[in-house]
A and B are shown apart, each in its own frame.
Chain A
Amino acid sequence: MNNFIILPILLPLLTGIILVFFQKRIAVQKWISSLASLISIVIAVTLVQRVYTNGIQTLEVGSWKPPFGIVLVADMYASLLVLTTNVIVFACLLFAFRSIGIDREKFFFYPAVMFLLTGVTGAFMTGDIFNLFVFFEVMLMASYFLIVHGNTKIQLRESIKYILVNVISSALFVIAVAFLYAVTGTLNMADLSVRVAEAGQTSIMTVISVLFLIVFGLKGAIFPLYFWLPGSYQAPPSAITALFGALLTKVGVYSITRVFTLIFVHEVGFTHEIIAWLATLTIIFGVIGAIAYLDIRKIIIYNIITAVGVILFGVAMFNEAGIEGSVYYLIHDMLIKGALFLLVGAIIVITGTSNLKNMGGLIKNHPFLGWMFFVAAAALAGVPPLSGFIGKLKIIEAGFQNGDYVMAMIVLLSSLLVLYSVMKIFMNGFWGEQVLSREEEKGSTKGLLMPIALLIALSVLYGFGIEIVSPYVVQAAETLLDPSIYIEAVLKE
């Protein structure tokens, strides 16, 4: 009996439903959603602490014992991600209060954000592979709504692509689950892990595992499957893009990590080698995109792809340093991508354009914004005291331990190019000749800087306080490296 761990899923769901009743009363919506988001953060912190002291928490939904019922599992990895997710949603809500506009707010914007949060936390915490699919769909439905919300021409065009790709990948997901069920006869992840270990990972299981890699790769934008992402993420307003960029692809990354550390761990030489190569290619194509564009949104969007590659490279190395590094880097990347998209949103509000050529000298009127961007850029690239350092260090260490020198060097070099791509924004946008005087600016950043400052401060604290964070991450990595801990907690053998 442990109803506490369903609260991170239940609270946003209930809030979303209640917000529908207050469709026209925006002030009420703002209060309820921000309050619920704050309470969610408190709950998530408590959850992390509980998991830290008492080990993995499980809830057998409807009192049905696993593997027969759905089980919710809060291990350290999932709990940390739930906490990060809630922080980002809170920041994006604050940013949306000032920037999203009254027309969108009146048409169920806040309920949609809450349902998105429900889907994401549900996907992190479920212990059942079909339930994971359902939470994926909850999340995707909300994201379809948000991506087209407001009906501008570009949103309509890009939402068609986005929905098409995701419908296809969802169909593939169902097919993959059907194959898996046909072979093993179970859907519970812990039970799947036991059955696969008993039967040995036969070649058909390896085929299914690659099918899962394709499915989650489509959601998480890895190398040959990332084609839909740059266009789609450019369409919606900044607050929504920040939510997407920080959360949606990371759910795909989480699922790959979960599936390839819990279920398919017996043919590492084949499956993890594929992931390593795809991750490296993802990094390469991500940085190429980030360097190529002069559009500030596109630059940040391609940096998502690079980060997905780096995290997956850590997972593919499948040793202690690699998994720890990927956990560190995943949390850092969620925070910093949220911050960067909001920063870019603030810049666009000021300049009215996302083209780097039409801006310059912003630092004269907006020194705080400028230096926040500088810190975020340095953290993204992994400059030592900041948050991106430790994760990348561990991941590269893992690469060298496994003898994959070339790939590790590519990860290392990618940092340089990532730094170049964001510093390009800083140097051209903030330095140089001033393009807009204070009177010519298109909008004010009043209230927009606070949520950004929140995320940047957290990311800096994360970098400096790594000693405090590390026991949690080590516990998360232990569970990921040793499936028996997870299985024991769920099946109670």
Chain B
Amino acid sequence: MKKAGRKTNDIILQTITKIVVFIIMIFSLYLFFAGHNAPGGGFIGGLMTSSAIVLLLIAYDVKTVKKILPVNYIMMTAVGLFIAVMTGVGSFIFGVPFLTHTFGHFHLPVLGDTELATAVLFDLGVYLVVIGVTMTIIQTIGETE
């Protein structure tokens, strides 16, 4: 950030941000995946991720952040909605009522026996919508003069 007339240097803020953003991102992903059996889920995970991006916005400016993350957040919201609705529509194929979710146990290479549920896909939709909406709001307000 540049203040009029005088050059400031945000080196401490920017360096710390570089480290902290990754910690927040990982924490938000942890919250997202923990949602089924512990407090967390798509909503809080999405808010956490957008808070990491907001920290980037504070440390750098809108242009730089757009360069780092070239995402159209409105499209992201739409994609999230689409995923969430489609997990519901998927039930049409199996001939069960709308939004019926299922789960199964799978043997994954590193993780071993894992329980995978289709509800996570719905949560992924929620996650994307929350990031998309939050970032659209913040960027739109930030850009208007």
Task: Note whether A and B form a binding pair.
Answer: yes
Q: Which of B17-25, B26-34, B93-101, B105-113 contacts A (4 or more CB under 8 A)?
A: B93-101
A1-53 interface with B by 8 A CB criterion:
1-3, 6, 10, 13-14, 17-18, 20-21, 23
Are B100 and A62 closer than 8 Å at their CB atoms? yes
Are A17 and B96 closer than 8 Å at their CB atoms? no
Q: Which residue of B lies closest to A20 (CB)?
A: B78
- The interface bits of chain B over 75-104 (1 if a CB of A lies within 8 angstroms of the residue's CB, else 0) are 101100110010011011001111111000
Interface size range on A against B:
10 to 19
Are A61 and B99 closer than 8 Å at their CB atoms? yes
A33-81 interface with B by 8 A CB criterion:
59-63
- Within 8 Å by CB of A59, from B81, B95, B98, B101, lies B98
**Secondary structure of the A contact surface, majority rule:** helix
- Within 8 Å by CB of A1, from B81, B85, B95, B101, lies B95
Are B82 and A17 closer than 8 Å at their CB atoms? yes
A60–B82 alpha-carbon span in the complex (Å)? 22
In the complex, what residues of A have CB within 8 A of residue B78's CB? 17, 20-21
- Within 8 Å by CB of B101, from A2, A13, A20, A62, lies A62
Asked if A3 meets B97 with Cβ closer than 8 Å, knowing A10-B89, A14-B85, A17-B85, the reply is yes
Are B97 and A13 closer than 8 Å at their CB atoms? no
Decide if B74 is an interface residue (CB 8 Å cutoff): yes
- Within 8 Å by CB of A10, from B95, B96, B98, lies B98
Q: Which residue of B lies closest to A14 (CB)?
A: B85
Are B85 and A3 closer than 8 Å at their CB atoms? no
Asked if A62 meets B81 with Cβ closer than 8 Å, knowing A10-B89, A20-B74, A21-B75, the reply is no
In the complex, what residues of A have CB within 8 A of residue B82's CB? 14, 17-18
Are B100 and A63 closer than 8 Å at their CB atoms? yes
- Within 8 Å by CB of B97, from A1, A17, A20, lies A1
B58-87 interface with A by 8 A CB criterion:
74-75, 77-78, 81-82, 85
Interface size range on B against A:
10 to 19
Are A61 and B85 closer than 8 Å at their CB atoms? no
* B37 CB → nearest A CB, Å: 19
A14–B98 alpha-carbon span in the complex (Å)? 14
In the complex, what residues of A have CB within 8 A of residue B75's CB? 20-21
A20–B85 alpha-carbon span in the complex (Å)? 15
* B100 CB → nearest A CB, Å: 4
In the complex, what residues of B have CB within 8 A of residue A61's CB? 97-99
* A149 CB → nearest B CB, Å: 15
A17–B92 alpha-carbon span in the complex (Å)? 19
* A326 CB → nearest B CB, Å: 31
In the complex, what residues of B have CB within 8 A of residue A14's CB? 82, 85, 89
Q: Which residue of B lies closest to A62 (CB)?
A: B99
A63–B88 alpha-carbon span in the complex (Å)? 12
A176–B91 alpha-carbon span in the complex (Å)? 34
Interface centre among B89, B98, B100 (most CB of A within 10 A): B98
Are A3 and B92 closer than 8 Å at their CB atoms? yes
In the complex, what residues of B have CB within 8 A of residue A60's CB? 97
Asked if A6 meets B98 with Cβ closer than 8 Å, knowing A20-B74, A21-B75, A21-B78, the reply is yes
* B83 CB → nearest A CB, Å: 10
In the complex, what residues of B have CB within 8 A of residue A62's CB? 97-101
Q: Which residue of A lies closest to B96 (CB)?
A: A63
In the complex, what residues of B have CB within 8 A of residue A6's CB? 98
Are A13 and B85 closer than 8 Å at their CB atoms? yes
A21–B76 alpha-carbon span in the complex (Å)? 10
Q: Which residue of B lies closest to A72 (CB)?
A: B98
Interface centre among B82, B89, B97 (most CB of A within 10 A): B97
Interface centre among B77, B78, B92 (most CB of A within 10 A): B78
Q: Which residue of B lies closest to A2 (CB)?
A: B97
A17–B88 alpha-carbon span in the complex (Å)? 14
In the complex, what residues of A have CB within 8 A of residue B89's CB? 10, 14
A164–B42 alpha-carbon span in the complex (Å)? 29
A3–B88 alpha-carbon span in the complex (Å)? 11
* A491 CB → nearest B CB, Å: 16
Q: Which residue of A lies closest to B101 (CB)?
A: A62
A339–B88 alpha-carbon span in the complex (Å)? 36
In the complex, what residues of B have CB within 8 A of residue A63's CB? 96-97, 100
In the complex, what residues of B have CB within 8 A of residue A59's CB? 97-98
Q: Which residue of B lies closest to A60 (CB)?
A: B97
A20–B82 alpha-carbon span in the complex (Å)? 10
A14–B86 alpha-carbon span in the complex (Å)? 9
* A144 CB → nearest B CB, Å: 15
A6–B96 alpha-carbon span in the complex (Å)? 12
In the complex, what residues of B have CB within 8 A of residue A13's CB? 85
A62–B122 alpha-carbon span in the complex (Å)? 13
- Within 8 Å by CB of B85, from A2, A10, A23, lies A10
In the complex, what residues of B have CB within 8 A of residue A21's CB? 75, 78
A21–B100 alpha-carbon span in the complex (Å)? 27
A59–B89 alpha-carbon span in the complex (Å)? 14
* B111 CB → nearest A CB, Å: 27
A13–B96 alpha-carbon span in the complex (Å)? 20
* A459 CB → nearest B CB, Å: 34
The 8 closest A-B pairs by CB, nearest first: A20-B78, A63-B100, A62-B99, A17-B81, A6-B98, A17-B82, A63-B97, A61-B99
23 contacting pairs across A/B (C-beta < 8 A): A1-B95, A2-B97, A3-B92, A3-B97, A10-B98, A13-B85, A14-B82, A14-B89, A17-B78, A17-B81, A18-B82, A20-B74, A20-B77, A23-B74, A59-B97, A59-B98, A61-B97, A61-B98, A61-B99, A62-B97, A62-B98, A62-B100, A63-B100
- Interface, chain B (partner A; CB < 8 A): 74-75, 77-78, 81-82, 85, 88-89, 91-92, 95-101
- Known contacts A3-B97, A17-B81; 15 further A-B pairs (Cβ under 8 A): A1-B95, A2-B97, A3-B91, A3-B92, A10-B88, A10-B89, A10-B98, A14-B82, A17-B82, A17-B85, A20-B75, A21-B75, A61-B97, A61-B99, A62-B97
